[in-house]
Structure 1
């Protein structure tokens, strides 16, 4: 990539006959194969793969000036050690040593400040720069994964990667198989479900996805992030973006052929999966989650379908009004404002508010493809042939410890890391409200049931009934409720809460964990809505991060200090502040102001 330029790459692309892709009118797999062959050949012409010897790592700020001074320092040390009777040689070495330290510190500071300024609007790249300061405690090099298999530590990379692959492929199916086989009440064939969409005026199979224009494809190609990882086809987004104007016609043809034949190319259904450690023991395969890498072209195809389905759902007001996940003009803010304002209203009326936060197990991974397609048909989509092709026959290959597993077939779930996956999940859980008569707030799979009243015991009984009904809906739709992580909470003034003698929510024979505070969508909520726990959590993060930045104050200029404080500290003050700030007292506001004043003094270097 050393001598690569977009202009030279475009020149090579223009020598290819891209019309051969458009001449394939029947088989989208063949059309994609022709395109990939020509495109990869063009990439190889301008930057062929070569084996190189990796030299010892050099910090990016170390330039010829530092290297030359280092050589002078080393020579001075050599001479000083050989002529110990001459003190002037030792003084010269000390002088050069100090010069190297000063130069290194100065160059590192300039390099870091320049990089922060360059990437201040790119969180991912900014985070990389913070790691160079030692902000993250993660290793610069990814450690090898070691698992405990059959009660023994396994170091064999092949066994480890196959164990991870096996777990990722079977964990969702195992959850589905554990769901009790009981009479269905809220499935897609129930009157509850059909009436829910009938009342919205939806005509089944009334909407069909249309073909897209070259202008749409060109726009999406030019929006690609060149730093994103590649999929199994090995095509980097940088090349697609640079060659967009030359290849737009060929890619448009592939997308439209896919829509016309209602077939998704097999290559675009293959994912590379990398395991990402979450928490607890690193020896337990269950403590890793999959990160999927898909082909970039598949994301453009998905976007072409996504924008049309999303418009149909929005124009017909089909999505549940209190679903705040993965929607335009919705966020965690809207969900938390709805939640807190509703509870405040109930408190102002002298009522208690009982809440249950449901924890769904592997919700995205356990979506049943047949149920999803039936739901989409009822929601008006006459496009389930393409969607079935998109969902079924997907495979994934796990890569860990520089080793690949055998490809495995994914039998359920919406594709992780995809454009369409989140929207399809919203459609899947969209009818959950048919199971309950109380307030239900959703953020994707994060669900909250709220019931009010004057008697905490009665509220608990009604919540128990609502939770059981919701659990029935989940089982009918092959989703699993994790009762061990589901939490119950009762809200009220401190005076009223002191009067509560019993508040026990149950689901079947299981008593739900009753808590005084809960973390929901990243915000810690107290049972009296005082905001005290939220402020304590915010101040803890803000003070620890400011303490870290103070260690490097001398090497940071004003602009860099301001950028880092905005990225690391101010973001915590701002997060969902419209939901919690109006309700906190003067004492808590004063604590926040003190913390912000500390941050401002750091920025101004006072």
Structure 2
């Protein structure tokens, strides 16, 4: 309809009342304007053969006025479904208060219980339904809505919307004149569609139970047949025979409900304590083989057959580095001189990428997220690859990403503890509590090690969310102080750059970083402050400069080593620029005050100071390059 959401959000009271009357009239009369059911599809090419329709992704543009109306229907229907427990607890997709972590955590716990406590394999069949949302049979949908006891008026309204549904294609900014009817699938872009899909497959678990098949045992009163996140399904089995039986029933369910399995993307992982596995007969789905794999990417997280997250850590490191590439492209384009803008850009793209589900996979691989964060600062300041991580963290003063991980972990832990006793993550967490001594690789084990460092020896002391939340601030403060103390200690004991000890600030980020100034100035200052005491590597204007501070200075005849102190305060070759640029920052060119002088030079206090130090360093580098270029000739 071409009407933006902002228009409806800013309606005055009179127009809101008019819109309310319109919706009430439609609801009572059960008559919807035909145009309300029209959709415009824009096709986006993904990859592969451009003549293959399967290689295009469709973006649906739905009438705003229709979406508001169906969102009202959705809210009422959703509440009714939740109150009457029509959606199985195993389904987490499109449900309030749930995210992918709900399923990821549940899967991780179930794997740990089976492989490490029970010492038994767990068969996980990751089911891929081919275009599940687009293949919903409308007649079956109306039957299921009616069978669940949903009001006839609701069904008639929804059916009216679907019976009149048509679409047009938008190609090269032109909309096709001929409309095509929609005969199957839920309507793309409609607020109600996700809920209708959940209702359509809500009988999935009951269907298996009706065939005499149960889930894998969690404890005496709970078992788990599958996990569902919208159309992402995982079926669990105790053995190859059990797995095959469930695949046969899956085939029957798909046939009855007009759904199609994508056999190429449906795979099975046999979770086990050892990488070795016996040769088992293949699992067969309608005369086609379902592949056994050792790793499967479930909801964006790679799960390996041994239950560890080493493959996930490599995966997220790779994704984090790729995300840093995007950050770099944007920074080069916008040329921002704002430190806050650079950090926000990094956090919203790169950090957000590597922190996805980090509360689950990264506690045992904290160095992975840390490497991504450090890589950002090394790129930003053109620092050599061998610059120690703890030096960079101390210099930038930014929030340690390991602190963010623990914060996310505590939030998730509190969320699980606040769940009702019949929710899967809580059931599985307390089962893990019971068998924590037998579990060697799990989220809880890594969390307990961190908490022990902070003086919390028994996680079971935190038995409810309120108790944990009361201590959360204190826990995070201890973790932050612990990380800072470790970094400061490593800096003070480091032989990499003993001079940096006098530059280190425990309170805030240095002025030269936070001030709005050319990035080339910030980079040059940072490289000198964080340089190796024996070998200074500088990258400036596309050139690499190396200063061996253990060798004699060839720029003068004093026969002294070319140390930073010599370059800034002694070498007579630079005396003219020294006098005009940095003389005011020199306390006394005496070896007894070496650290004080270096501190005064490199502890930039204002933009004028920064500019003068920068110009002096540039002069030194250019003069050295000119000398050595002439010498080589």
Same fold, TM-score > 0.5, yes or no: yes
Q: Is the Cα contact below 8 Å between 1:435 and 1:473 reproduced in 2?
A: yes
For 1:546-593, what per-residue CA distance to the aligned partner results, in whole angstroms no more than 9, with x for missing partners?
A: 2454563763421111111111111122212233234x3xxx333332
Equivalent residue for 2:252, pick from 472, 478, 499: 472
1:514: Cα distance to partner?
1.4
State how far apart, in whole Å, the 1-side matches of 2:351 and 2:73 are.
Answer: 37
- Confirm whether residue 561 of structure 1 aligns to residue 332 of structure 2: no
Q: Is the Cα contact below 8 Å between 1:369 and 1:392 reproduced in 2?
A: no
Determine helix, strand or coil for the equivalent of 1:419. Answer: coil
- Confirm whether residue 413 of structure 1 aligns to residue 190 of structure 2: no
Q: Please, what is the CA RMSD of the aligned residues?
A: 2.0
Q: Kindly tell me: are residues 355 and 402 of structure 1, through their superposed partners in 2, closer, same or farther at Cα, counting changes over 3 Å?
A: same
State how far apart, in whole Å, the 2-side matches of 1:530 and 1:388 are.
Answer: 48
Determine helix, strand or coil for the equivalent of 1:381. Answer: coil
Equivalent residue for 2:371, pick from 582, 590, 594: 594
- Confirm whether residue 342 of structure 1 aligns to residue 120 of structure 2: no
Q: Is the Cα contact below 8 Å between 2:41 and 2:60 reproduced in 1?
A: yes
State how far apart, in whole Å, the 2-side matches of 1:548 and 1:408 are.
Answer: 40
Equivalent residue for 2:56, pick from 288, 299, 318: 288
State how far apart, in whole Å, the 1-side matches of 2:368 and 2:156 are.
Answer: 58
1:513: Cα distance to partner?
1.3
State how far apart, in whole Å, the 1-side matches of 2:281 and 2:123 are.
Answer: 9
1:425: Cα distance to partner?
0.4
- Confirm whether residue 389 of structure 1 aligns to residue 160 of structure 2: yes
What is aligned with 1:528? Answer: 306
1:327: Cα distance to partner?
0.5
State how far apart, in whole Å, the 2-side matches of 1:448 and 1:490 are.
Answer: 12
Where do 1:262-281 residues align within 5 Å? 262-281=30-49
What is aligned with 1:325? Answer: 93
Determine helix, strand or coil for the equivalent of 2:362. Answer: helix
Q: Is the Cα contact below 8 Å between 2:327 and 2:350 reproduced in 1?
A: no
State how far apart, in whole Å, the 2-side matches of 1:278 and 1:335 are.
Answer: 28
What is aligned with 1:573? Answer: 354
**Structure with larger Rg:** 2
For 1:283-318, what per-residue CA distance to the aligned partner results, in whole angstroms no more than 9, with x for missing partners?
A: 322211221111111111011111111110111222
What is aligned with 1:428? Answer: 200
- Confirm whether residue 399 of structure 1 aligns to residue 167 of structure 2: no
Determine helix, strand or coil for the equivalent of 2:42. Answer: strand
Determine helix, strand or coil for the equivalent of 2:146. Answer: helix
Equivalent residue for 2:228, pick from 438, 442, 461: 442
Q: Kindly tell me: are residues 283 and 264 of structure 1, through their superposed partners in 2, closer, same or farther at Cα, counting changes over 3 Å?
A: same
What is aligned with 1:359? Answer: 128
Q: Is the Cα contact below 8 Å between 2:251 and 2:286 reproduced in 1?
A: no
What is aligned with 2:463? Answer: none
Determine helix, strand or coil for the equivalent of 1:555. Answer: coil
Aligned residue pairs, count: 362
What is aligned with 2:77? Answer: 309
State how far apart, in whole Å, the 2-side matches of 1:544 and 1:316 are.
Answer: 45
What is aligned with 2:626? Answer: none
Determine helix, strand or coil for the equivalent of 2:57. Answer: strand
1:361: Cα distance to partner?
1.1
Determine helix, strand or coil for the equivalent of 2:188. Answer: coil
Q: Is the Cα contact below 8 Å between 1:320 and 1:430 reproduced in 2?
A: yes
State how far apart, in whole Å, the 1-side matches of 2:337 and 2:310 are.
Answer: 33
- Confirm whether residue 488 of structure 1 aligns to residue 268 of structure 2: yes
Where do 1:237-248 residues align within 5 Å? 237-248=5-16
State how far apart, in whole Å, the 1-side matches of 2:285 and 2:271 are.
Answer: 20
**Taking CA–CA contacts closer than 8 Å with sequence separation of 6 or more, which of the two structures ends up with the larger relative contact order?**
1
1:395: Cα distance to partner?
0.3
Q: Kindly tell me: are residues 508 and 412 of structure 1, through their superposed partners in 2, closer, same or farther at Cα, counting changes over 3 Å?
A: closer
Q: Is the Cα contact below 8 Å between 2:362 and 2:369 reproduced in 1?
A: no
Determine helix, strand or coil for the equivalent of 1:361. Answer: coil
Determine helix, strand or coil for the equivalent of 2:96. Answer: coil
For 1:438-477, what per-residue CA distance to the aligned partner results, in whole angstroms no more than 9, with x for missing partners?
A: 311111011111112xxxxxx2222121011012111101
Q: Is the Cα contact below 8 Å between 2:167 and 2:180 reproduced in 1?
A: yes
State how far apart, in whole Å, the 1-side matches of 2:39 and 2:163 are.
Answer: 13
Q: Is the Cα contact below 8 Å between 1:490 and 1:503 reproduced in 2?
A: no
1:265: Cα distance to partner?
2.2
Determine helix, strand or coil for the equivalent of 1:449. Answer: strand
For 1:176-202, what per-residue CA distance to the aligned partner results, in whole angstroms no more than 9, with x for missing partners?
A: xxxxxxxxxxxxxxxxxxxxxxxxxxx
- Confirm whether residue 517 of structure 1 aligns to residue 288 of structure 2: no
State how far apart, in whole Å, the 1-side matches of 2:287 and 2:47 are.
Answer: 30
Determine helix, strand or coil for the equivalent of 2:44. Answer: strand
1:384: Cα distance to partner?
1.3
- Confirm whether residue 461 of structure 1 aligns to residue 241 of structure 2: yes
Q: Is the Cα contact below 8 Å between 1:276 and 1:288 reproduced in 2?
A: yes
**Unaligned 5+ runs, structure 2:** 209-213, 216-224, 382-395, 397-512, 514-525, 527-633
Q: Kindly tell me: are residues 301 and 434 of structure 1, through their superposed partners in 2, closer, same or farther at Cα, counting changes over 3 Å?
A: same
1:479: Cα distance to partner?
1.0
Q: Is the Cα contact below 8 Å between 1:325 and 1:444 reproduced in 2?
A: yes
Determine helix, strand or coil for the equivalent of 1:272. Answer: strand
State how far apart, in whole Å, the 1-side matches of 2:295 and 2:281 are.
Answer: 15
